[in-house]
Amino acid sequence: MSEPGGLERVTVMVPATSANLGVGFDTLGMALDLWASFTFARSGTLEIHGCEPQFTGPDNLAWTSFLTACESLGTKAPTCSIEIGSPIPLSGGLGSSSTCVVAGVIAAQALSGRPVDQAFTLDVATQIEGHPDNVAPAVLGGLVSSFIRDGKTVSSRFDVAPNLRFIVAAPPYQVRTVEARKVMPREVPLETTVWQMGRCVATVLALEAGDARLFGEACQDRLHEPYRKVLIPDYEPLRSRAMGAGAVGFFISGSGSTMIAVADGDEMAERVIHALGDERPDLWLREVAAIKLGAHLAQAAEG
């Protein structure tokens, strides 16, 4: 292995993401204007700051992803101190783990003195995560549809129309991804597959065109949400309040417990936010825009 060289310290910015977007199970994802920062600096000992104590050990996902990426690059991984600053709730559903993975892969390239390559970042991050629905929009920004072919991630990227507003509601409890996958059926009827396919295509078109009416018609999942919503006690009351206040759509973000309501314009978004807050005042509640920009280096310092 060759020695990494060049940079002493790098800061990587990675956006939050929402996967599935209703009917796009394990295929669709969207980058959100909520950013986590990761500063990797060469150090004599491994130190991790800025996260919960249980994540400060050598199994930290940003660190293990850094090591995996260094191995893929054929470089010797330097010991680092890592400073994490993330406003993304850990309740699940906004890609907090994907931010760690993508940051580690980008930092490995930068500290190795290599240019950051999106294709490499996406492939390695997908290998680590196991599927691209969160990491693809985190890397590329925007709305992304992805699939795997011969071990490579193939992604199609779109911009989301600015009139659509995304109201993020994270309750104060978690849904573990492994549990969310357990409750899903192993097989589905052909009619469910057909139902999903048509609505998945319509969802992409609606988000790109800003067609709120079409998005609302397409946002009717039958593949995972009917099973996963039972793990989120607030799903039905929050959905009812959001739709009653004028939201055009409501879906589980990722595997939950975070949920997202979609509104057309600022006035409607305000009404939805107030309705959700009245229903459950302890929600982590934000209006978050979809963004075009993906993960990138914010700072780099030479040794």
Tens digit of pLDDT per residue, the chain (303 long)? 334 455 899 999 999 999 999 999 999 999 999 999 999 999 999 999 998 888 889 999 999 999 999 999 999 999 999 999 999 988 689 999 999 999 999 999 999 999 999 999 999 999 999 889 999 999 999 999 999 888 888 999 999 999 999 999 999 998 888 888 899 999 999 999 999 999 999 999 999 999 999 999 999 999 999 999 999 999 999 999 999 999 999 999 999 999 999 999 999 999 999 999 999 999 999 999 999 999 999 866 555
Inter-residue contact 262 to 247 (CB < 8 Å): yes
Sheet holding 284-288, edge to edge: 249-252, 259-264, 164-170, 284-288
In the three-class reduction of DSSP (H, G, I as helix; E, B as strand; rest coil), residue 253 is classed as: coil
- Provide the pLDDT for residue 40: 97
Question: What is the set of domains in the chain, with CATH numbers?
Answer: 7-158+291-302 (3.30.230.10), 164-288 (3.30.70.890)
* d(C-alpha 97, C-alpha 85), whole Å: 13
**Rounded to the nearest 10 degrees, how much is the dihedral formed by the CA atoms of 221, 93, 41, 80?**
-100
- Provide the pLDDT for residue 2: 36
- In angstroms, what CA-CA distances link 64 with 61, 75, 82, 108, 139? 5, 14, 12, 11, 18
Tokens of 69: 């990426």
Identify which of 146, 140, 105 has the alpha carbon closest to the alpha carbon of residue 10.
Answer: 105
Number of Cβ within a 10 Å radius of residue 219: 21
